[in-house]
Chains A and B, each alone.
Chain A
Amino acid sequence: MSTGALAEPVTRTFRHGIHPAENKDATHLRPIERVPFVREYVLPLSQHIGAPSVAIVKAGQRVVRGELIAEPGAFVSTALHAPVTGTVVAVEPRLHANGKMMPAIVIEADPFSSQKPVPHKVPRPEEMTNKDLVKSVQMAGLVGLGGAAFPSHVKLSLPEKKRIEFIIINGCECEPYLTCDHRLMVERAESVIRGTEIMMRNIGAKRAYIGIEANKPDAAEALRAVSSTESIEVVLVQVKYPQGAEKMLIDAILKKEVPSGGIPLDIEILTNNVGTTAALADWFDQGVPLIERVVTVTGPGIPHPRNLLVPLGTPVSSIVDYCGGLSPDTKQVIMGGPMMGMPQKTLDVPIMKGTSGILAFTDVFQQKIQEYPCIRCGRCLEACPMFLNPTRLAHLAKFERVEQLKEYHVLDCFECASCSFTCPSNIPLVQWIRMGKAMVREAQKK
């Protein structure tokens, strides 16, 4: 691997957390490859947090790669662009990774097209006010590429009388197996730095930190090599899950706690994923909206694990086939990371903006380890990065004690699943807590 950076003592981290096996060796040295274009692309109108996008194309209409095909449906919503040149064949419900049939734009690629994206005309970001930049980023379709898919422009919009002092760019990639952000930092360091500079200048932040887990020293070195400004600091943090959670990364780098129930803006901080940051640079420098992303395809059930640059809407089955198909003993396929990802029943679902990985597992641990009674060992309390009491919350959820769930701050849980991972009795703690959160939200609606 790389040199130099390894010698640094890495002390920064958050409190609590877990150490799952990293399992990144299969792909962390594999350069990003572009997958060949396929026939059909499915673009769900809802692939981000917030209101769905609104389709502006009809069946039969010809679209060019990069062309706007759906507009934001609200402020917390974003645009969608054609990932390929071809013909819209339908706007109809299609299978979404969440298991439901959701409205989607279906495009058949033109096999004779060069598939060169048509660049949009984007003004220079240096000349933009915050309002203009926010509008522009929304029209670029940018969302958080770390997995949550929260529309980026919402974070970038500075409410009146608020300011951002620090920007933290998140290159932790703490989920085991995933290496898409790692490769992106190594191969596209300039874009990450450029995106960071654009945000800093527009928002008036005085300093930016790029937080990277210490298992990616080559990424840190690549970024340091291209960064010319003192005000962007590349910081190594300890390898620990969930270091990539924004609250944990802020705590590790700045020793500040985002208030319970609050967002980083409350303490004058903006966080963004490295992939999002690079995509922001692509938009402003080349006029290319978010039409493709890096996806790590790996796991014991994948014969040839790879990091792939995939147009949005590509069927998962085609990129799995590109990596050698599923091995015969595959039992489970996950979209996203192994700690917070979503399992899939079929591979007939499209890659979306938030899809960081496709993992194929040959074992399902729930089928191997049985559930035992809670022995009150307290391991879940020591794992919980939010300092909650998972075993208690799970118990309260089981008995539907809504008031007590609130008192025990169930809504502070962001479902990192460290508790379930660590529970020696294999109690589905985070699963119970999710139900507890839903109960509290339901009660609050009334």
Chain B
Amino acid sequence: MSSTTRKHDLTLSTSPFLHADSTTPRIMAEVLLATVPVMLGACWIFGVGVLLVVAAATIGAVGTEWIFTRASKKPSPLRDYSALLTGVLLGLILPPGFPLWMSFLGGAVSIALGKLIWGGLGQNVFNPALVGRAFLQASFPTAITTWAAPSQGVLSVSDRLFSVPMMQAGADTVSAATPLGLFKFSSEFTHVSQLFIGKIGGSIGETSALILIFCGLWLGFRKIFDWRLPVSTLLSVAVFSSIFYFLNPEKYPSPLFMLFSGGLLFAAVFMVTDPVSTPTTIRGAWIFGIGVGVLVVLIRLFGGLPEGVMYAILLMNAVTPYINHYTQPRQFGGPRKRWFEAKAQ
């Protein structure tokens, strides 16, 4: 026994004694970072007013979590950035001229009904940001389908943002239909190059395919999300919309239009990649994405609404526990399983 070693108070813990660099707050922070180019693009397309919409949703979300954690003496809400991310993502799927108080309310509902009542981070079945969006869609059907036209100047801030509850929203906005609205209600196709750049009507974060593809690739290469989820979603939309397109190219939009229009790319990068509300199993991820794609195509082509990404994801969120149950992995050295088979037999 040496004198040098007796001085040390050695820690006992169990193996492993190494840990990967990635942590939950870091994952959330990287996704938040990936929303920055989306926000900058939105400023260029719709004007800096959009940042106020995002900020209002974020304050609603973080504020709600803060009140809850104070009341229940849980650790700080900001420690894992998840409420912050929910707020930002909700803001990015709202229309550019959306009244701030509604946005704030949406943020609060996202966290309260989307996350907290389920038991907090990791426990919710539905994507919290989409729960907030669905709530707003049901509560303010007009406001959430009033799309500000792009190109009003980077510094423009719509008066509608500052409307107050129970008052008619200001009517100054130059509104524009979204490409999916034009297709649904006027059978007009927007050229794919316009969808690519994004100077079109739509939700704050969803219009520029270029920026979204960049962010998606970045997050994918950083291994922040499971690449199977966006890939299967997009592939599924491409395949199923191709079937209709080849059956009747005049009636149905091209697969490229389907991929680049509406909220699909945004959802593929930021919504179907939410780990909590999507399957944990590898085969489950493929099933989830394929399901979302099929539902998106069905709702867009045959439903009453022009856009169906939100409901497609929420519906697949609802069946995710079942997908997990039926796609448990085969253990190494175990008998081969069928592709879709419950663990407990």
Chain A residues within CB distance 8 Å of chain B: 18, 20-21, 176, 247, 251, 257-262, 315, 317-318, 320-321, 325-326, 328, 330-334, 338-348, 359, 361, 364-367, 369-370, 372-379, 381-382, 385-389, 391-392, 404, 407-409, 412, 415, 417, 420-426, 428, 430-431, 434
Chain B residues within CB distance 8 Å of chain A: 1-2, 4-5, 7-8, 10-20, 22-27, 79-80, 82, 120-123, 226, 275-276, 278-282, 285, 328-334, 343-344
Contact call A389/B333, Cβ cutoff below 8 A: no
Residue of A nearest to B25 (CB): A372
Chain A nearest CB from B231 CB (Å) reads 15
Interface contacts (Cβ under 8 Å), in number, total 189
Known contacts A348-B1, A364-B13, A389-B281; is-contact A426 B276 (Cβ 8 Å)? no
Contact call B2/A317, Cβ cutoff below 8 A: yes
Known contacts A339-B18, A389-B280, A426-B19; is-contact A326 B4 (Cβ 8 Å)? yes
- CB < 8 Å neighbour of B23 from A176, A320, A326, A426: A426
Residue of B nearest to A322 (CB): B2
Contact call A376/B15, Cβ cutoff below 8 A: no
Known contacts A331-B10, A381-B329, A387-B330; is-contact A365 B17 (Cβ 8 Å)? yes
Of the candidates B19, B122, B285, the one having the most CB atoms from chain A within 10 angstroms of its own CB is B19
Given the complex of chains A and B, what is the CA–CA distance between A420 and B216 in angstroms? 27
Q: In terms of DSSP, what is the predominant structure of the interface of chain A?
A: loop
Known contacts A332-B13, A378-B280, A426-B19; is-contact A321 B5 (Cβ 8 Å)? yes
B residues less than 8 Å from A317 (CB atoms): 1-2, 5
B residues less than 8 Å from A388 (CB atoms): 329, 331
Known contacts A257-B332, A332-B17, A389-B329; is-contact A425 B24 (Cβ 8 Å)? yes
Chain A nearest CB from B180 CB (Å) reads 31
B residues less than 8 Å from A18 (CB atoms): 20
Contacts A369-B23, A408-B328, A426-B24 supplied; 9 other A-B pairs, CB < 8 Å: A258-B333, A317-B5, A326-B8, A338-B18, A361-B17, A385-B332, A408-B343, A424-B20, A426-B19
Chain B nearest CB from A196 CB (Å) reads 25
Given the complex of chains A and B, what is the CA–CA distance between A375 and B82 in angstroms? 10
Known contacts A387-B330, A388-B329; is-contact A341 B17 (Cβ 8 Å)? yes
B residues less than 8 Å from A417 (CB atoms): 15-16
Known contacts A326-B5, A369-B19, A425-B24; is-contact A375 B276 (Cβ 8 Å)? yes
Contact call B226/A378, Cβ cutoff below 8 A: yes
A residues less than 8 Å from B122 (CB atoms): 373-376, 425
Chain B nearest CB from A113 CB (Å) reads 23
Given the complex of chains A and B, what is the CA–CA distance between A370 and B19 in angstroms? 12
Contact call B5/A325, Cβ cutoff below 8 A: yes
Residue of B nearest to A324 (CB): B4
Given the complex of chains A and B, what is the CA–CA distance between A261 and B331 in angstroms? 10
- CB < 8 Å neighbour of A372 from B23, B285, B330: B23
A residues less than 8 Å from B79 (CB atoms): 370
Contact call B10/A375, Cβ cutoff below 8 A: no
B residues less than 8 Å from A361 (CB atoms): 17
Contact call B332/A340, Cβ cutoff below 8 A: no
Residue of B nearest to A341 (CB): B15
Of the candidates B11, B20, B226, the one having the most CB atoms from chain A within 10 angstroms of its own CB is B20
Residue of A nearest to B225 (CB): A377
Residue of B nearest to A369 (CB): B23
Contact call A343/B20, Cβ cutoff below 8 A: no
Residue of A nearest to B7 (CB): A328
Contact call B2/A325, Cβ cutoff below 8 A: yes
Given the complex of chains A and B, what is the CA–CA distance between A343 and B11 in angstroms? 8
Contact call A424/B331, Cβ cutoff below 8 A: no
A residues less than 8 Å from B82 (CB atoms): 375
Known contacts A320-B2, A343-B11, A381-B280; is-contact A387 B331 (Cβ 8 Å)? yes
Residue of A nearest to B275 (CB): A377
Chain A nearest CB from B288 CB (Å) reads 11
A residues less than 8 Å from B8 (CB atoms): 326, 330-331, 333
Known contacts A262-B333, A325-B5; is-contact A372 B121 (Cβ 8 Å)? yes
Chain B nearest CB from A15 CB (Å) reads 8
Chain A nearest CB from B318 CB (Å) reads 15
B residues less than 8 Å from A345 (CB atoms): 10, 12
Given the complex of chains A and B, what is the CA–CA distance between A113 and B225 in angstroms? 63
Contact call B15/A340, Cβ cutoff below 8 A: yes
Known contacts A176-B18, A407-B344; is-contact A347 B281 (Cβ 8 Å)? no
Chain A nearest CB from B127 CB (Å) reads 12
Contact call B13/A343, Cβ cutoff below 8 A: yes
Of the candidates B2, B27, B279, the one having the most CB atoms from chain A within 10 angstroms of its own CB is B2
Known contacts A320-B2, A343-B10, A378-B282; is-contact A247 B17 (Cβ 8 Å)? no
B residues less than 8 Å from A421 (CB atoms): 16, 18-20
Known contacts A348-B1, A376-B275; is-contact A20 B20 (Cβ 8 Å)? yes
Contact call A260/B17, Cβ cutoff below 8 A: no
Given the complex of chains A and B, what is the CA–CA distance between A361 and B122 in angstroms? 32
Contact call B329/A428, Cβ cutoff below 8 A: no
Of the candidates B4, B25, B275, the one having the most CB atoms from chain A within 10 angstroms of its own CB is B4
Of the candidates B17, B19, B329, the one having the most CB atoms from chain A within 10 angstroms of its own CB is B17
A residues less than 8 Å from B281 (CB atoms): 378, 381, 389
Chain A nearest CB from B86 CB (Å) reads 13
